[in-house]
Amino acid sequence: MKAIVIGGGIGGLTAALALLDQGIEVEVYEQAHELKEIGAGLQIAANASRVLTRLGLGPELERLGVAVHAIVMRDLHSDRPVHSLPVERSDATPEAMTARFDGTFYQLHRPDLLGMLADAVPAGVTRLGEKATGFVDDGAGVTVTFESGHRTRGDLLIGADGIHSRVRGQLLGETEPEFSRIVAWRALIPREKLAHLDLEQDCHVWLGPNRSGVAYWVHGGELLNFVGMVPADETAAESWTTQGDLAQMRRSFAGSNARLQAILDEIESPFITGYYYRYPLAEWSRGRVALLGDAAHPMHPFLAQGACQAIEDAAVLAHTLASHLADGDVPAALAEYQTRRIPRAARVQNASRTQEPVWHMSDPREIVQRNRTLASLSELDPDAKTLYGWVFSYDVEAEAAKPLRDPSAVLRREEARRAWTMWATLLRPKDLDRQHHGIREAYDRFLLHNFPPDPTVSVEDSPVDGRTHLRVTAPDGAGGPTLLHFHGGGYLLGSAAGSVGLASRLARETGGSVVVPDYRLAPEHPYPAAVEDAVASYDALLGRGVDPATILISGESAGGGLAVALAMRLRDLGRPMPAGIVAMCPMGDLAVTGESVDTAAGVDPISTRTFLTQMATSYLQGSNPRAPLASPVYGDYQGLPPLLIQVGENEALYSDATRMADAARRDGVEVELDAYPDTVHVFHMFDFLPESTAALERTAKFAGRVTALRP
């Protein structure tokens, strides 16, 4: 098998090494007349350094790279710490490296990395000064032509020729990349000029309004790499090599803290980088041609994963081609490469892009919310395994060796797989761009489109304290029970309007009415805002003359946890208690310690450890994650009314549900726990699932028993 690689950058040369390591012949073509990189830095996290080490570059990485201890984020103006992400071992505690990400996080001078790759590729493999003009895939092989008149033929072609890839243009059609509207001032400063500064062997990040500064050591610690990201309208240049105006750069960072100013003072000749990106592609390969690196997935710099993802591509490409050496089915190998890589690279692309508004917040209130959220994150995730482990701990070769399968096949039944896919595809890339604002809109769109209200029920708004309270009443349901139902969404998402579909089915089954209140959401309104609003909603029902003996409080997901927390709060306030509680797939532990969070990884497509932690910390913002009104698994259940808990056996919050049931039994509360196999989180919403109908029928029977009001 012979591979032709267009592009002699980091991705192309890593691909050459990986392919050669598998016994595959390689030719690399680079249009430049010499292999060189712009004099700047990059970061090679553990997910990529493991690949390079396996390819024999470990000693060179140790010699020329700088092993990072932590990524330390500070306020750009005050220099006060905002967040610290431990990514590597320190000299004092080498065991910490294995405990975190099983690999070294290196900071490198780009020319150093390119040089070590070029030196490792055998002589004669790379041809310089050859600009590809086109290719022909005739089904039996690929022929590539060059401006020089040279032609070559191989079994496959890999386009590793960057964001403006000619291979990509011919393969998928010419489209312009997106301009991020961010440019970066870049410079390298010799160590001797900064001897007076206390700059540890960390990655230093300064977060400021609409801008940020990053500094870290490269080239064996002899050079400090500085990157200052600012809005593009502050400078006209957008190229990789344009020399910038020194005075203009300093104006961009006027008012910065003393350490950052001292770094800026030592810069003599900055240059400017414009950042371009693409949204994730639906395909990377056709026939015998595939893309790799920036040709496939150019991304924002905020996770420092651009080069890392190209290195991962190279490892998976080599693995999949090697697995097809016996049958020689190159198109099948490239299709497998694409299938394995697109979900991973797309997730990294999306996460990298959506970090920009977090770094560059300008609203003082949002900055306070962000910093409080990061403080909670430091408590819940001190080793950064949750927030960044999915990036840095990813073992690309182990993942490449796993059998390919439809991800939804973790569930047995066709209708359950349909629900799984609906959850998995809820968010589109552009929904993520506006952080929680965009995710909220996407979540409501998902609910309103897929789960409209039953047309036979009536819906009216009965506001409380200016908040929407939708009363959904079944036909002839005036004499039935009243359910005060709280929507889910991790205290970050959801609305009364979005929950009307489920509420209407609840009303039909119970023969009564369901009141769905809006409650204040995080991060704008942190804990205990939701509990306070829940109490006000309950009090409003009592104020309208509703007999508490006819009321049940219920909720799904975070709303299920909120329903139990409300009952605890009502008891402590001495309020009349409701007749019962219904918790559907409850989120009851904001410390995210449930065993099922990890055992359901890959099975539950929506309640991932990362997402649960992000939602919890956005709500907590420094509050105790084990406070009972935030996390009722830790609460006292004495004096609570009968409790019905319903949960899917293979969802991430299964442990939350079972622990809440155990705590209730411990405290003498009547509790029923219904566990449903082979289903998804909040299966109650999916009206085509038989377990949804069964669960709502059980809820109706429970409501009729505890209120003595029959449907």
Exposed e or buried b per residue across 401-411, where buried means at least 16 C-beta atoms within 10 angstroms of its C-beta: eeeeeeebebb
Same-domain pairing of 343 and 452: no
**pLDDT (mean) for 230-237:** 78
CB 606 within 8 A of CB 681: yes
Same domain, 388 and 481: no
Per-residue DSSP letter, 467: B
Is the residue at 422 inside a domain? Answer: no
Could you tell me if 480 and 510 are in contact, meaning their C-beta atoms sit under 8 angstroms apart?
A: yes
User: Is there a domain that residue 210 lies in?
Assistant: no
Q: Distance between CA 48 and CA 307 in Å, rounded? A: 8
How many Å apart are CA 554 and CA 680, to the nearest integer? 19
CATH number of the domain at 314, please. Answer: 3.50.50.60
Query: Distance of CA 525 to CAs 372, 502, 520, Å?
Result: 12, 25, 6
Residue 186 falls inside a structural domain: no
- Cα-flanking dihedrals φ and ψ of residue 689, to 5°? -90, 130
pLDDT reported for residue 92: 43
CB 366 within 8 A of CB 304: no
How far does the chain reach from its first CA to its final CA, in angstroms? Answer: 70
Whether residues 366 and 514 share a domain: the answer is no
Position 91 pLDDT exceeds 60: no
Classify 607 as helix, strand or coil.
coil
**Domain's final residue, options 398, 423, 448:** 398
Alpha carbons within 13 A on the beta-carbon side of 25: 7
What pLDDT does residue 245 have?
80
Range(s) of the domain holding residue 139: 2-176+278-398
**pLDDT single digits (tens) 678-690:** 999 999 999 999 9
Q: What is the pLDDT of residue 100?
A: 57
Confidence of residue 524 (pLDDT cuts 50, 70, 90): very high
Q: 47-78, pLDDT tens digit by residue?
A: 999 999 999 999 999 999 999 888 999 999 99
Q: DSSP letters of 221-248? A: GTEEEEEEEEEGGG-S--SSSEEPPHHH
Q: Do 111 and 60 belong to one domain?
A: yes
User: Listing from the earlier edge strand, what are the strands of the sheet with 242-243?
Assistant: 81-86, 70-75, 203-208, 211-218, 223-231, 178-190, 271-277, 242-243
Element (H, E) at 218: strand 211-218
pLDDT at 343 over 90: yes
In the block, which residue shows the tokens 């780009």?
110
Q: Is 50 exceeded by the pLDDT of residue 392?
A: yes
- Specify the CATH number for the domain of residue 617: 3.40.50.1820
Residues 391, 508: one domain?
A: no
The Cα 630–Cα 510 span in angstroms is 29
Same domain for 291 and 145, yes or no, is: yes
Residues 260, 205: Cα–Cα separation, whole Å: 10
Same domain, 467 and 383: no
Q: Is the pLDDT of residue 98 over 60?
A: no
Give this prediction's pTM: 0.93
Residue at a domain's end among 398, 429, 460: 398
> If you average pLDDT over residues 632-642, what whole number do you get?
98
Per-residue pLDDT, 462? 87
State the pLDDT at residue 201: 87
Tokens of residue 32, six digits: 């430049």
Location of structure tokens 């490409």: 317
In terms of Cα–Cα distance, which of 541, 523, 544, 444 is closest to 485? 541
Sort strands 271-277 and 242-243 into parallel, antiparallel or unpaired: antiparallel
Per-residue pLDDT at 500: 96
- Chosen domain end from 398, 427, 458: 398
Would you state the structure tokens that stand for residue 145, as one six-digit string? Answer: 């032509």
- Look at the chain and report how many structural domains it folds into: 2
Pairing label, strands 151-154, 142-146: antiparallel
Active-site positions read 216
Decide: helix, strand or coil at residue 14.
Answer: helix
Q: Are residues 506 and 586 in the same domain?
A: yes
Closest CA to 231 of 82, 73, 356: 356
pLDDT in tens, 474-513: 988 778 999 999 999 999 999 999 999 999 999 999 999 9
**Sequence-separated (6 or more) residues with CB below 8 Å from residue 168:** 159, 161, 291, 295, 296
Question: What is the percent of the chain where pLDDT is above 90?
Answer: 87
Per residue in 246-291, pLDDT (tens digit) is 888 999 999 999 999 999 999 988 888 889 999 999 999 999 999 9
Longest Cα–Cα distance in the chain: 89
Q: What is the mean pLDDT of residues 376-380?
A: 91
The pair phi, psi for residue 295, each rounded to 5°, is -65, -25
Question: Is the same domain home to 513 and 387?
Answer: no
Q: Is residue 539 part of a domain?
A: yes
Residues 17 and 157 in one domain: yes
| Domain assignment of residue 323, yes or no | yes
pLDDT band at 705 (very low <50, low <70, confident <90, very high): very high
255 within domain boundaries: no
The answer to the question of residue 44 being in a domain is yes
Contact call for residues 446 and 476 (beta carbons, < 8 A): no
Rounded Cα–Cα distance for residues 156 and 143 (Å): 9
Per the domain annotation, does 224 fall within a domain? no
Cβ neighbours for 677, distance < 8 A, ≥ 6 positions apart: 648, 649, 650
> Is residue 692 pLDDT above 60, yes or no?
yes
Which residues are CB-contacts of 140 (< 8 A; sequence separation ≥ 6)? none
- Say how far apart CA 450 and CA 693 lie, in whole Å: 16
Same domain, 331 and 460: no
Alpha helices in 83-165 (DSSP H): 95-100, 110-120
Confidence of residue 561 (pLDDT cuts 50, 70, 90): very high
Instruction: Evaluate whether 105 touches 70 at the Cβ level (below 8 Å).
Output: no
Number of H helices, E strands in the chain: 24, 28
Instruction: Find, among 198, 201, 203, the residue nearest to 257 by Cα.
Output: 198
Same-domain status, 655 and 531: yes
Q: In what order do the strands lie in the sheet with 151-154?
A: 132-137, 142-146, 151-154
The closest of 525, 485, 629 to 567, measured between CA atoms, is 629
Q: What are phi and psi of 242, to 5 degrees?
A: -65, 130
Mean pLDDT over residues 380-394, rounded? 88
Name, in order, each residue with C-beta under 8 angstroms of 57's C-beta and a sequence gap of 6 or more.
116, 117, 120
